[in-house]
Amino acid sequence: MNSQERVYTPYRGPFDPCPPVPFKTFVVPPNQFITFQPPDLQQFSLPEALRAGTLWPALFSPYESKCRGEN
């Protein structure tokens, strides 16, 4: 699990007809932790930036699909 992913236990009422879900996850984007752009922030090279989708490694957030082999 990466450091941007958070886990919580959803509330389940005593009369909830659905099967219980043990936990849920969500991703907190890295831009929530950078209040301003510091000078001389490290940058990806241009080809790396195009693959990552951002110029700055500090703002990179990898996407991992929750699908399991479904097309």
Q: What is the pLDDT along the chain (71 residues), one digit of tens a residue?
A: 458 889 999 998 899 898 988 999 888 888 888 888 888 899 999 999 999 999 999 888 887 777 766 55
- The verdict on residue 45 lying in a domain is yes
Establish if 10 belongs to a structural domain. Answer: yes
Asked if the structure places residue 64 within a domain, the reply is no
pTM assigned to the model: 0.59
Domain extent, residue 12, equals 5-59
Q: How many domains does the chain have?
A: 1
The token pair at 57 is 């490694």
Residue 69 counted as domain residue: no
70 within a domain of the structure (yes/no): no
What pLDDT sits at residue 1? 46
Print burial letters for 10-34: b (CB count within 10 Å at least 16), e (below 16).
eeeeeeeeeeeeeeeeeeeebeeee
The pLDDT, as a whole number, for residue 69 is 62
Answer yes or no: is 66 within a domain. Answer: no
